[in-house]
Structure 1
Amino acid sequence: MSQLAQLSEAEIEERFHIVSASAIQFMLAGFVRERESFSVQFGANRETFQTILLAVQADKDRLVFDCSGSPETNRRFLDSDHIVFMARPGGIQVHFSAAAAIDVNFEGAKAFAVKLPKTIARLQRREYFRIETPRIRPLELFARLPGDALFKCPLHDISVSGIGLSASSVPDGLAVGDVLQNCRLVLPEDPHDLLFSVTVRNIIELEARASVPQFRIGLQFNNLSTGDANRIQRYISRLEHERRELA
Structure 2
Amino acid sequence: MSEAPPVPALDLADLDGYYDKFFIEDAGEIRHHLQRLAAANCALTARADGSQDSMSTMLLQVDATSLWVDVPTNRALLDAWLSAHHLRFEGSLDRAALRFSCNPGWLDSHEGRPALRLPIPVRMLYLQRREFMRREPPPGGLVCFLRLAEDTEVEATIRDIGGGGLAIVATRSAVKFAVGDVLAGCRIELPDIGEVEVSLQVRHVLARGSLGYDATQAGCEFVDLAPAAQRKLFRYLLQLDRDQLARRRRDE
Q: TM-score, normalised by structure 2?
A: 0.51
Work out the CA distance in 1 between the residues paired with 2:77 and 2:71: 9
In the alignment, what sits opposite 1:56?
62
Q: How many residues align?
A: 182
1:21 corresponds to 2:24: no
AA partner of residue 54 (structure 1): L
In the alignment, what sits opposite 1:5?
none
Of residues 35, 40, 50 in structure 2, which corresponds to 1:34? 40
Work out the CA distance in 2 between the residues paired with 1:89 and 1:55: 16
Relative to structure 1, the CA distance from residue 114 to residue 141 in structure 2 (aligned partners, 3 Å threshold; closer, same or farther) is farther
Alignment of 1:101-112 (within 5 A): 101-112=105-116
Tell me the CA shift for residue 161 of structure 1: 9.0
In the alignment, what sits opposite 2:98?
94
Of residues 86, 89, 108 in structure 2, which corresponds to 1:85? 89
User: Radius of gyration: which is bigger?
Assistant: 2
Structure 2, unaligned runs of 5 or more: 1-15, 142-157, 170-186, 199-206, 216-231, 248-252
Contact 2:190 2:236 in 1 (8 A): no
Work out the CA distance in 1 between the residues paired with 2:214 and 2:236: 37
AA partner of residue 40 (structure 1): A
Q: Deviations over 1:9-50 (max 9, x none)?
A: 99x634x22211111112212222222221112243421111
Identity of aligned residues (%): 19
Contact 2:105 2:116 in 1 (8 A): yes
Work out the CA distance in 2 between the residues paired with 1:73 and 1:124: 31
Work out the CA distance in 1 between the residues paired with 2:68 and 2:51: 24
Q: Deviations over 1:201-231 (max 9, x none)?
A: 79xxxx984899xxxxxxx667479898589
In the alignment, what sits opposite 1:67?
71
Contact 1:52 1:65 in 2 (8 A): yes
Work out the CA distance in 2 between the residues paired with 1:75 and 1:119: 25
Work out the CA distance in 1 between the residues paired with 2:94 and 2:125: 15
Tell me the CA shift for residue 158 of structure 1: 6.0
Tell me the CA shift for residue 111 of structure 1: 0.5
Relative to structure 1, the CA distance from residue 45 to residue 179 in structure 2 (aligned partners, 3 Å threshold; closer, same or farther) is farther
Q: TM-score, normalised by structure 1?
A: 0.52
Contact 1:41 1:223 in 2 (8 A): no
In the alignment, what sits opposite 2:80?
76
- Which structure carries more relative contact order (alpha carbon 8 Å, separation 6+)? 1
Alignment of 1:203-214 (within 5 A): 209=212
Q: Deviations over 1:133-153 (max 9, x none)?
A: 5xxxx96799xxxxxxxxxxx
Q: Secondary structure at the match of 2:50?
A: coil
Work out the CA distance in 2 between the residues paired with 1:56 and 1:28: 7
Structure 1, unaligned runs of 5 or more: 1-8, 143-154, 167-175, 182-196, 213-219, 236-247
Tell me the CA shift for residue 156 of structure 1: 4.7
Work out the CA distance in 2 between the residues paired with 1:225 and 1:78: 28
In the alignment, what sits opposite 2:221?
none
AA partner of residue 41 (structure 1): R
Work out the CA distance in 2 between the residues paired with 1:76 and 1:108: 23
Contact 2:23 2:123 in 1 (8 A): yes
Relative to structure 1, the CA distance from residue 159 to residue 125 in structure 2 (aligned partners, 3 Å threshold; closer, same or farther) is closer
Q: Secondary structure at the match of 2:94?
A: helix
Relative to structure 1, the CA distance from residue 177 to residue 70 in structure 2 (aligned partners, 3 Å threshold; closer, same or farther) is farther
Work out the CA distance in 2 between the residues paired with 1:73 and 1:222: 24
Tell me the CA shift for residue 110 of structure 1: 0.7
In the alignment, what sits opposite 1:47?
53
